[in-house]
Amino acid sequence: MKDLATDYPIDTAVKPEVEAFFDPATNTISYVVKDPASNACAVIDSVMDIDYAAGRITYEHADEIIAYIEKNGLKLEWLIETHVHADHLSAAPYIQKKLGGKIGIGEKITVVQETFGKVFNEGTEFQRDGSQFDRLFKDGDSYQIGSMTAFAMHTPGHTPACMVHVIGDAGFTGDTLFMPDGGSARADFPGGDAGVLYDSIQKVLALPDETRLFMCHDYGPNGRDIQWETTVADEKAHNIHVGAGATKEEFVKFRTERDAQLAMPRLIIPSLQVNMRAGDMPPAEEDGKVFLKVPVNTL
Ligand SMILES: [Fe+2]
């Protein structure tokens, strides 16, 4: 694990322009992150629309992002997945086809592919080496968005492949953190671990206090309006699960008890099959028909 102060290329003087796109169907927030010094941008955690009951997919949410990028004359360089989402399907390949850019995810995607390749009884044609993605990030790896240097910080615990992406003074937390009154994400999926999640959250909270943090999800706890932006200082002071000096022991006990009561996310079955393929559907069967599986009594 890296030493935050010396090994990550933090530069809070760089202030990317961040545009948020909220998807009410899955409570996901997708982002377009723009370099203030050029027209380069990245998309973080895009969403494909699915009517699961009807087996129908559409792209209204992704089309909104595409329209925004085109209207502003931006050049899409990266499509970042903070992790393999279990609650929505990625639209990264759809956006990539229209606008270009590289799809990147944490290198531990291979662990997730191994686990869910088994769950879905995928044959040998399903590669478990992450080769469906253009770039696999290791802890501390950096990449350019125009003139900005972004880096990926490995933050396992919710899932093995989780990464927080830090771009100038902006951190994109994925599901490693929620808004202070939302706390944290569950840690009971295969490969999840509450203690590991606590340690990962400490890495994020060790970023400079003024770092803006952008959430991947918000559920508007206690009836408040949806929010997605906070700061490291705010999380440290007020996060209901890890703020104000909550200990690892307290967190693990609370998280484990809470997770035992949670139902599976509504879209976990289609999400994993698609997202472990970088957002592509499983290969078509005869006549070009595409199917998603439902593993019975497995999850
Ligand atoms: Fe997630």
CA–centroid distance, 247 to ligand 1, in Å, is 23
CA–centroid distance, 258 to ligand 1, in Å, is 16
CA–centroid distance, 199 to ligand 1, in Å, is 17
CA–centroid distance, 158 to ligand 1, in Å, is 7
CA–centroid distance, 287 to ligand 1, in Å, is 34
CA–centroid distance, 265 to ligand 1, in Å, is 10
DSSP states along the chain: ---HHHHS---TT---EEEEEEETTTTEEEEEEE-TTSSEEEEES--BEEETTTTEEE-HHHHHHHHHHHHTT-EEEEEE-SS--SSSB--HHHHHHHH--EEEEETTHHHHHHHHHHHTT--TTS--SSTTSSEEEPTT-EEEETTEEEEEEE--SSSTT-EEEEETTEEE-TTS---TTT------STT--HHHHHHHHHHHHTS-TT-EEE-SB---GGGPPP--EEEHHHHHHH-TTT-TT--HHHHHHHHHHHHTTPPPPTTHHHHHHHHTTTTPPPPP-GGG-------TT--
Q: What is the pLDDT of residue 2?
A: 63
Q: What is the pLDDT of residue 289?
A: 95
CA–centroid distance, 31 to ligand 1, in Å, is 16
pLDDT in tens, 242-268: 988 889 999 999 999 999 999 999 999
CA–centroid distance, 188 to ligand 1, in Å, is 11
Q: What is the pLDDT of residue 244?
A: 83
Closest CA to 231 of 250, 211, 217: 211
CA–centroid distance, 173 to ligand 1, in Å, is 10
Which residues fall inside 5 Å of ion ligand 1, going by CB? 85, 175
What are the phi and psi torsion angles at 113 (to 5°)? Answer: -65, -40
CA–centroid distance, 73 to ligand 1, in Å, is 31
CA–centroid distance, 286 to ligand 1, in Å, is 33
CA–centroid distance, 279 to ligand 1, in Å, is 14
CA–centroid distance, 15 to ligand 1, in Å, is 26
Q: What is the pTM of this model?
A: 0.96
Q: What is the pLDDT of residue 299?
A: 83
Residues of the chain with pLDDT under 50: none
Three-state SS letters, 239-251: CCCCCCCCCHHHH
Strands 102-106 and 135-137, by their bridges, are parallel
Is residue 15 classed exposed, middle or buried when 0-12, 13-18 and 19+ CB atoms within 10 A define those classes?
middle
CA–centroid distance, 152 to ligand 1, in Å, is 17
Angle at which helices 60-71 and 92-99 cross, to 10°: 30
CA–centroid distance, 71 to ligand 1, in Å, is 30
CA–centroid distance, 45 to ligand 1, in Å, is 10
CA–centroid distance, 223 to ligand 1, in Å, is 22
Q: What is the pLDDT of residue 151?
A: 97
